[in-house]
Structure 1
Amino acid sequence: MHRTAKRPASVEAHRDKVRVLLAPLAARVDTVPLRAALGRGLAADLVAPMDLPPFANSQMDGFAVRSADVPDGGAELRVAAAVPAGAEPARLAPGTAAPIMTGAMIPAGADAVVPIEQAVPDSFPEPGATATVRLPAAPAGAFVRSVGSDISAGATALAAGTFLGPGQLGLLAALGLTEVPVHAVPRVLLVTTGDEVVEPGIPLAPGKIYDANGTLLDSALRQAGLAVTRTGISADDPGDLARLLRRHAPEVDLIVTTGGVSKGAYEVVRQALAGHDVDFGAVAMQPGGPQGIGTFDGVPVLGFPGNPVSCLVSFEMFLRPVLAELFGSPSPRPAVRARLAEALSSPEAKHQVRRGTLGTDGTVRLEGGPGSHLVHALAQSNVLVQVPVGTAELASGDEVEVWML
């Protein structure tokens, strides 16, 4: 049965509860083709099956030489057969220099490359022509990419939990891998509630508002890589909501609701989840104080507040960072330090999350006030400004942490 917390929990404590609730979902693993892994989280350490590069190669266009043949002061060498990329060259004879292309294999016997710009003449001779070239001194290893200088066979290429972006997938392709183990995509049921809420496009009757939360959270969840099922708006009938949840629960890994979690007289989510293992209580955070967490028929449930900014801040403060930690996806929000363009006030006993715009000069301008209904201000923002517990006033120019959106 649901319980009501008596004292507000800290942001960190509530996030820990979300982490514990969702941790079992991280055990589900899919093996997918490399191209299908973009934006997913790596589910296991991947070890390099080979060296990168797999052979010593040239860092640039130039001449492959024996360093002993070009001592201080340089030397004039006979031009050997050219080494194109992708070919296995013949051994380099003493006293010769082989034209070599960027990425081409270093011939056996050679241990350095002289860039073409340093050669006299500074161009390659025609193929098959008999020619000499004067080259400056070249120490051993100059402009040579050695075997395994990027990564050695047997080393960890990527650690479990890594977010797989283009760079990571490029590395796996370079290692010859075609499949990758990733965390299974969590399936989320998203339910918005409220008799006063209607779908966009329907004429508004008195006392009605359009549903922003459905689009707001659906977009956030899908952007975070989750598979979302939406049921439309659930009216304030606890029985109907309970039946809706029971119908969809076997098909999903997580239920997210918005609205109906406060202490009002018609809190439909609290009523529908009566008799289930769900806690409803306050977190010392503004906006987003009222929160619900627990399980419904064994399925994890997160109950977010009904005001649009509150529900998105709840997602960003609790669900998104836990998903990044447990599943490697989405990538964490970058946290940077910025200076306030104006003063602000905050409830000293709460962690306040303000919306703002970070400029190129490193200052952050607040967008709107602390109100949880200011959707326009949210839409203008590119950061969340973090004002920790214990802070009542900050002056213009004071430093704060901001999370990039």
Structure 2
Amino acid sequence: MIEVETQLARVLAEACPLPSDTVPLAAAHGRVIAETVVSRYALPPWTNSAMDGYAVRSEDVASASETAPVSLEVIADLPAGTAADPVILPGQAARIMTGAPVPADADAIVPVEATDGGELRVTITAPAAPGVHIRSAGEDRQPGDALVSAGSRAGAEVLSALASAGFGRIKVARRPRVAVIATGSELVAPGEPLDRGQIPDSNSLLISSLAVEHGAELVDVVRVSDEVAELETALRGLASRCDVIVLTGGVSMGAYDPVKELLSPGEQVRFEKVAMQPGKPQGFGRLAAPWVDEGELGPLVFGLPGNPVSAWVSFLVFVRPCLRALQGASTVEDPKLSAHADVGWRTPPGRRQYLPARIRTTDAGVTVSPAAARGSGSHLVGSLADANGYAVVDASIERVQAGDVVQVVRLVSDVDARL
């Protein structure tokens, strides 16, 4: 068997970043920024008011109080969006709204709550120190300051910053084009009645949905039987249209394993036993001729186990980092957290365990427990509905005891996360 790190290194060595596209900001959500971006504008672009109130000369109101208010002439009304810059002489003020540019002659804002709200004259009952309630131009960013690093994901906050800094379009990595092939003569479409020996094809939905959640453009989802000819036809139809093809099932040592039978010759796709549970049988490689034209770069191919939990773990450990690397993401692996085990559970000897888990944050800290009542099992697909992450238990640990510190990964979709 090989180690997880060895298999992952092979995957990432082939996952070269894809070309970039320039798209409107509204179309960039969830995409990976392909270049470091610097601000075009000062942020904020002009010195503006942080409050509704009155722009004043601070020395005019230095002595203002409830018992000795100061009265000033109101010479202008400044709503947000105005370009006006009225001259404010001693003894004068301008009524101003939040976000409106502060007149050059004013150095303080008196909130409306400290006034009588007058329109021709205003009575002020509190002093205002120089600079109070004023947002200075460029205090957040100056033109040319770094704004977003290449490899960052364009979440809502990043898009807001880019728009504020003067951008309407941005260069992002092209989405990896992914196709999913579920193999198995026992598979039937979800919702169809089952005959003895048949099971619903949950892997198609599982893997295609995960791929989209992690930045992929879904090209096609195909279900094939265990007939090698049927799989070959599907692969030939997809090879020129995809960057990545993910197959589930048919990769172990059984008599009806078409993926391994079809792709093992020539070692375009290598099949390995990886020291992990679940997910020991893994296939990975890149299609070349005769699947694609001579000299063309064929798609990356993953051969994942057919049991749903094994396919889920395998996607998260190998396919997800690949999709991130293809998009040029600055981070391809998820950070691990430390959690305390709520209960004990068994671990497989000699293999690293990836256990679907419920991860909770309590007043006492982060805790973890198996998502399935029966603990670990590659067939326990119902437990995935209760999993919000997974525990990673080293191969050297014989059993997790209640209270043990365990490494966990909390799942977050790349659509909602910035890397």
Give yes or no for contact 2:29–2:156 (8 Å, CA) kept in 1: yes
Root-mean-square deviation (Å): 2.3
Residue 123 of structure 1 corresponds to 116
The DSSP-based 3-state class of the residue aligned with 1:177 is coil
Q: Does 1:62 align with 2:60?
A: no
Aligned to 1:293: 284
Quote the offset at 1:179 in angstroms.
1.1
Task: Name the counterpart of 2:144.
Answer: 154
Q: In structure 1, how many angstroms separate the alpha carbons of the residues matched to 2:223 and 2:62?
A: 80
> Alpha-carbon deviations, 1:235-267, whole Å to 9, x = none?
222233223212220111111111111223332
Residue number among 156, 171, 193 corresponding to 1:166 in the alignment: 156
CA–CA distance in 1 between the matches of 2:44 and 2:333?
Answer: 31
1:4-43 correspondence runs (5 A): 7-9=1-3, 11-23=4-16, 26-43=17-34
Q: 1:224 and 2:214 equivalent?
A: yes
Equivalent-residue separation in structure 2 for 1:366 and 1:250 (angstroms): 41
Match of 1:79 among 66, 73, 80: 73
Alignment partners' CA distance in 2, 1:95 and 1:335: 62
Secondary structure of residue in 2 paired with 1:82: strand
Q: Matches of 1:331 and 1:144 in 2, distance apart?
A: 41
Q: Is the 8 A contact 1:38 1:166 kept in 2?
A: yes
Find the aligned partners of 1:271 and 1:265 in 2 and give their Cα distance: 9
Instruction: Tell me what 2:414 maps to.
Output: none
The equivalent residue for 1:93 is 89
Shift of 1:77: 4.5
Distance 2:395 2:98 in 1: 56
The 5 Å alignment of 1:263-282 reads 263-273=253-263, 274-282=265-273
For the Cα contact (< 8 Å) 1:189–1:255, is it kept in 2?
yes
Q: TM-score, normalised by structure 1?
A: 0.89
What is the aligned residue count?
Answer: 390
C-alpha separation in 2, matches of 1:331 and 1:77: 62
Aligned counterparts of 1:32 and 1:364: Cα–Cα separation in 2: 41
Q: How many angstroms does 1:332 deviate by?
A: 7.1
Alignment counterpart, residue 197 of structure 1, candidates 187, 198, 203: 187
Would the alpha carbon gap of residues 123 and 389 (structure 1) be closer, same or farther in structure 2, given more than 3 Å must change? farther
Give distance in 1, aligned partners of 2:125 and 2:203: 72
Which digits, 9 at most, give the CA deviation of each residue in 1:170-211, with x for residues without a partner?
122222321111111111121111222222344433322221
CA offset digits 1:89-111 (Å, max 9, x no partner): 31222233332211111110222
Contact preservation (8 Å) 1:280, 1:290: yes
1:4 alignment counterpart: none
- Alignment deviations for residues 356-384 of structure 1 (CA, whole Å, 9 cap, x no partner): 22234232232221110001111122221
User: Residue in 2 aligned with 1:354?
Assistant: 355
Q: Aligned residue for 1:3? A: none
State the secondary structure of the residue aligned to 1:251. Answer: coil
Greater alpha carbon shift after TM alignment, 180-189 vs 341-350: 341-350
Distance 1:392 1:92, change over 3 A: farther
User: Is the alpha carbon distance of 1:197 and 1:132 closer, same or farther for their aligned partners in structure 2, counting shifts above 3 Å?
Assistant: closer
1:230-269 → structure 2 map (5 Å cutoff): 230-269=220-259
Q: CA deviation at 1:51?
A: 0.6
Q: Which runs of 5+ in 2 are unaligned?
A: 289-297, 412-419
User: Aligned to 1:250, what secondary structure does the other structure show?
Assistant: coil
SS of residue paired to 2:34: coil
**Residue 324 of structure 1: aligned partner:** 324
* Cα distance per residue 1:15-63 (max 9 Å; x no partner): 222222221xx23111111111111111111221111111001111222
Structure-2 separation of matches of 1:105 and 1:230: 53
Distance in structure 2 (CA, Å) of the matches to 1:180 and 1:67? 43
**Contact between 2:204 and 2:221, CA under 8 Å: does it hold in 1?**
no
Alpha-carbon distance between aligned partners in 2 of 1:79 and 1:399, rounded to the nearest angstrom = 68
Query: Which residue in 1 is equivalent to 2:307?
Result: 307
TM-score normalised by the chain length of structure 2: 0.86
Residue 82 of structure 1 and its aligned partner are, at CA, apart by 2.9
Could you list the runs of 5+ residues in structure 1 that have no partner in the other structure? Answer: 1-6
CA distance in 1, matches of 2:145, 2:129: 29
Between the two proteins, what is the percent identity of the paired residues?
Answer: 40
> Which stretch of structure 1 is more off in the superposition, 61-70 or 27-36?
61-70
